[in-house]
């Protein structure tokens, strides 16, 4: 009986622990720092990581591609210069801040880390704030397992 309980507990623990590998959604997605758009350029979609790569005057952001209202996939509207959800009309600024619509909060963001050619950490953002990208940064790792919820506008 003790052996049966130990095996059952071991198997349960293995199934309960997340097993996301680097490069998979839920783990860290590596992108070239040069893949982020320049300031004032439209955001760039990263479909593998399910995020938008955005560059503001304060730094780079990785915005989760799922609307905070009901989970629809929103898109960048070049004409309006904002993110717009096609399902219910929520709108967000380039940095993910809420503008209008039924969404209860701003867009969710992912934590990021920037590394130089030698593999040394040169910048990070664990709280979802824009990460200034140093000139020697060559890769950015976006941690899709660490989602930072957008701020509520209520």
Res 11: pLDDT? 64
For the chain, the C-alpha Rg in angstroms (whole number) is 18
Phi, psi of 84 (to 5 degrees): -140, 135
**Tens digits of residue pLDDT in 50-103:** 999 999 999 999 999 999 998 899 999 999 999 999 988 899 999 999 999 999
pTM: 0.81
Q: Bridge-partner residues for 106, per DSSP?
A: none
**Tens digits of residue pLDDT in 2-59:** 776 767 766 665 555 555 444 445 688 999 999 999 998 999 999 988 999 999 999 9
Superfamily designation of domain 28-148: Rieske [2Fe-2S] iron-sulphur domain (2.102.10.10)
Burial per residue of 108-147, b for 16 or more beta-carbon CB atoms within 10 angstroms, e otherwise: bbbbbbbbbeeeeebbebeebebbebeeebebbbbbbeeb
Burial-class residue 154 by CB neighbours within 10 Å (0-12, 13-18, 19+). exposed
């Amino acid at each position: 009986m003790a052996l049966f309980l130990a095996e059952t507990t071991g198997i349960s623990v293995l199934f309960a622990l997340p097993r996301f590998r680097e490069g998979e959604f839920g783990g860290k997605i590596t992108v070239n720092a040069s893949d982020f758009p320049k300031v004032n350029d439209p955001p760039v979609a990263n479909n593998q990581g399910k995020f938008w790569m955005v560059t503001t005057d304060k730094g780079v952001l990785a915005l989760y591609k799922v609307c905070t209202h009901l989970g629809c996939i929103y898109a960048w509207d070049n004409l309006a210069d904002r993110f717009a959800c096609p399902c219910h009309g929520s709108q967000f600024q380039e940095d993910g801040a809420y503008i209008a619509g039924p969404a209860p909060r701003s867009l969710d963001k992912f934590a990021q880390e920037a590394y130089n050619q030698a593999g040394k950490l040169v910048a990070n953002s664990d709280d979802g704030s824009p990460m200034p990208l140093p000139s020697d940064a060559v890769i950015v790792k976006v941690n899709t397992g660490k989602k930072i919820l957008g701020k509520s506008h209520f």
